[in-house]
Structure 1
Amino acid sequence: MSLRETLAAIVGEPQLLTAAADMAPYLRDWRGRYQGSARCVVRPGNAGEVAAVVRACVDARVPIVPQGGNTGLCGAATPDASGEAVVLSLQRLNRVRAVDPANNTITVEAGCTLVAVQEAAAAVGRLFPLSLAAEGSCLIGGNLSTNAGGVQVLRYGNTRALTLGLEVVLPSGDLWDGLRGLRKDNTGYDLKQLFIGAEGTLGIITAAVLRLFAQPRATATAWLAIPSPAAALAVLTRLQAAFGELVSACELVSDVALQLVLQHIAGSNAPLAEASDWYLLVELSGGGDDAMLQAGLADCLGEAIAAGEVSDAALAQSGEQAKKLWALRENIAEAQKREGFSIKHDISLPISGIPDFVAAADAALAEAFPGIRCVTFGHVGDGNLHYNQSMVDQADNARLIAGQGAVDRLVHDLVTAAGGSISAEHGIGQLKRDDLARYRSPVELATMRALKQALDPLGLMNPGKLL
């Protein structure tokens, strides 16, 4: 049989897509920056079918591009233009296999949306804290493959910290069952860590055991006007001194970013009467009741205002008001997309180095590219900034995008000099592959290539990504 016939026999004819119109949504990334081609799109329904598909592709020496919700920002789930690859969609692996409230774990398949995992945890009175703007459409397999972070890393850690076990189809087609819900397991190498953040280049994650937490009984949310990123750090330090681990989120938003949301997202309203250059969205969560936590936050912010760290504040008085504040933060990426193409940097810095980096990078970019607009926002509590650039005029913006390499080099050189990373939570994909080779040491790159060669000697697993 031909490969297509073999794949159809494995998954069933309706789950093998070959018509151009049917394949189109799988061949273009969410941002619209990458357009690829493929032999076909195959949609297996369980881990056994994924393994059989991989074995068939290995026998035919055909590359495989794993894909989750296709919401990534670095082109990691988009095939190249050769048309040689098979896109393997994990959307049908969408079952919650088990929930263990006593062990505080949930076992889910890779095709579950992040919001479905959150809801399954909430149904038994537990919290799965990973939270992203794309949580309604991103899949947990993609979150694992990029080691996604989100807005609550400050308290709960990123996806890697939330994962206890994995089930993975290896590049050989073998199925590794590592679905162990253990906090301690020192039986050799911790294999799951190889696949988290590997972007499908070492294997295909089909299921995971994830950590759950107690649902917070109370929350307090506030939108703050602040004079500078340095003030954001001062407020964060003040909040952590007063509330400790109850500080679950601390998000920095520039006024440039807020104005894009107000312009492009219907129903958005500025929370404060007067604009500020910078804002901070903070949230506390824990025991007690909302009124008590909100009163404590109000007292702390009063001290911050007296110290000149905050100029104005809006405290959410209800869950609905808190949602509206969070929508301003979570819709920044969508607002940027509607505005047009932009150069995106997902960078990580020592928290203490954020103010100096923003000042230095803003100044250097303004000098090198007059008229450039920096859209800066992100998870200041864990040092992760989304530092994006564009021009207001469309023609100027097109020229900026065409010369993206020069912008990237300037930003990434400053990030590296500050002891930071060029990728915090979005991965490498196609977008930063060449930059990875520039900014990681020869020893690191050689070790990565050795792992790739050992697990995927034929180079068929998501080729052209990361390395």
Structure 2
Amino acid sequence: MDQHKRFLEACVSIVGANGVITDPSLQESFLREWRRRKVGRALAVICPSNTEEVSSIVRLCHENHISIVPQGGNTGLVYGGIPDESGNAIVLSLRKLNRIREIDPQNNAITVEAGCILQTIQEHAADHDRLFPLSLASEGSCTIGGNLSTNAGGTAVLRYGNTRELCLGLEIVTADGRIWNGLKQLRKDNTGYDLRDLFIGAEGTLGVITAAVMKLFPKTKHQICAFVAVEDLSQSVQFLNFLQQRFNENLTAFEIMNAFSLELVARAFPHLQIPQLQKSPFYILAEISSNADVAHLNGEIENELSQALEAGLVIDVVVTQNINQAQSCWQIRESISEAQARHGKNIKHDISLPISSVPDFVEQCDQALQRYVPKCRLVTFGHLGDGNLHYNVSAPPEVTPDDFLKQQKPINHIVHQLVHQFNGSISAEHGIGTLKKEELRLYKSELEIEMMQQIKKALDPFQIMNPGKIF
């Protein structure tokens, strides 16, 4: 009996026959990146039901030197959750670890397993009159373990922070199969190295997140959105500062969308009613949330926006009058990625910059790309409130998307070189995976890479955890 057969039989003894998937047709959804751009192979897909089973499977892999690719909802964009093409690794699916273990409304904390769908956590918090503010376009299918492993951002970072800032504690299965219970509900714990932060954003390369304690917040009663037209990105930054001074932490989100991105949404989803504003190159979706009296809040917002119009900070504005209108505005914003996908394959960039540098970066990068690929079309949108842009490049009208994708490497170089010049980051919230690992070495110092590799070697000496990712 060969090693792999013995290994799989041992896996069956741990998780049962239904928890070990070896049929290629049943493995397909676990091995394919959701945009269908990359497909891997696996020895098996293993589906444990609890932390103890995860521990036993990881220990077995450690003893047999079998590589592990932890996977949540498989919604990532940098190929971090799928295996390579060797077929020697297992995919460790955490989808069955989907229990809400505890909610403590008085401590504003919720303990959840890694396979919990993000939307499920949001809804469970709402049932207890609390808010879990992490919000992503994929929230109906992504899992909290994946969100933590990539330190996901989303639309509410401006007010509530990234996933890292929303996490109080973790439960981890280490690379040798031991269980570390760090599920503390503390907001202050200054007792040595913060091990929690090592695993958040590590993309499954150091161990397996099996559960987490996440922060909750008082549920806000009123959300009012403003859809705003501005002359350029410089005016957008000025308007952001204006709203922050007026509304402080009540400014929950500040999203930017260029005109072409909204044009794609209008084509793909004609049923969505895009606000009729004066034509401009950029539009803003700002959300202000508060528990104040809604009439007072509406009056305050309309008064401040009137001042912004008079001061020339914006050129046109529409304010939502009810929750349905606000949700419609968000649906427009969240439909940009899908609209672009329907338009054709494109070259995506998930970048972050100092907010003050965003206008100059976009101007210079737009010009550089037009020189290299004349008539290419930019889909620029994202979370301007925290400096995170989704700066995507679509093919010129006369070029097929497949031919255009052949230019991905030089286009990435143009964009990322300018990001580096502006002291930005080539990955704001999607991670590195395999897609960006070569470029990571161009923009991280040798010392930074060396320290990360030392941490990897210390925690995963056999290099079995998500091999080939990040490094």
TM range (shorter): over 0.9
CA distance in 2, matches of 1:196, 1:330: 25
Q: Are 2:163 and 1:166 aligned?
A: no
Q: Give 1:7's aligned amino acid.
A: C
Equivalent residues of 1:272, 1:313 under 8 A apart? no
Gaps of 5+ in 2: none
Does the 8 Å CA contact 1:219/1:293 hold for their aligned counterparts? no
Residue 56 (structure 2) aligned to one of 49, 52, 55: 52
Match runs of 1:145-224 below 5 Å:
145-224=149-228
User: Match of 1:443?
Assistant: 447
Query: What is the SS of the residue equivalent to 1:2?
Result: helix
Partners of 2:223 and 2:272 lie apart in 1 by: 22
Corresponding residue for 1:255? 259
**Superposition deviation, residue 4 in structure 1:** 1.1
The secondary structure found in structure 1 opposite 2:106 is coil
CA drift of 1:115 comes to: 0.6
Match for 1:214: what amino acid?
P
- 8 Å Cα contact 1:248/1:284 also seen in 2: yes
* Cα RMSD after superposing both structures: 1.1
Q: Which amino acid aligns with 1:12?
A: G
Q: Give every structure 1 segment of 4 or more consecutive aligned residues whose post-TM-superposition deviation is greater than 3 Å.
A: 392-396
Question: Where does residue 387 of structure 1 map in the other structure?
Answer: 391
Tell me the distance in 1 between the aligned counterparts of 2:320 and 2:142.
28
Alpha-carbon offset, residue 335 of structure 1: 1.3
User: What is the distance in 1 between the residues matched to 2:269 and 2:71?
Assistant: 28
Kindly provide the CA deviation profile for residues 225-253 of structure 1, in whole angstroms up to 9, marking residues without a partner as x: 11111111111111111111110100000
Find the partner of 2:340 among 312, 336, 340.
336
Match of 2:43 among 34, 39, 42: 39
Per-residue deviation at 1:269?
A: 2.2
Q: 1:90 aligns with which of 87, 94, 98?
A: 94
Q: Which runs of 5+ in 1 are unaligned?
A: none
Instruction: Find the aligned partners of 2:271 and 2:55 in 1 and give their Cα distance.
Output: 46
C-alpha contact 1:219 1:294 (8 A) present in aligned 2: no
Partner of 1:12: 16
Among 74, 77, 81, the alignment partner of 1:73 is: 77
What residue is the counterpart of 2:358 in the other structure?
354
TM-score (norm 2): 0.97
Check conservation: 2:268, 2:342, Cα contact below 8 A: yes
Residue in 1 that maps onto 2:245: 241
Structure 1 distance, partners of 2:411, 2:294, is 45
The match for 2:130 among 116, 126, 131 is: 126
Per the TM alignment, residue 217 of structure 1 is displaced from its structure 2 partner at its CA by 2.1
Q: In structure 1, which of residues 407, 412, 432 is the aligned counterpart of residue 411 of structure 2? A: 407
CA–CA separation in structure 1 for the residues paired with 2:206 and 2:317: 47
CA distance in 2, matches of 1:323, 1:340: 27
Counterparts of 1:341 and 1:145, CA distance in 2? 26
Q: Is the 8 A contact 2:47 2:92 kept in 1?
A: yes
Q: CA offsets, 1:344-386, max 9 Å, x none?
A: 1100100100000000000010011112111000000000000
User: Residue 291 in 1 paired to residue 302 in 2?
Assistant: no
Figure out how many residues of one structure are paired with residues of the other and give that number. 467
Q: Deviations over 1:260-299 (max 9, x none)?
A: 1111135222211543211000001112122221221111
With 9-18 and 163-172 compared, the bigger mean Cα shift is at: 9-18
- Distance in 2 separating the partners of 1:30 and 1:70: 7
> Greater shift after overlay, 265-274 or 57-66?
265-274
Match for residue 21 of structure 1?
A: 25
Q: CA deviation at 1:392?
A: 4.4
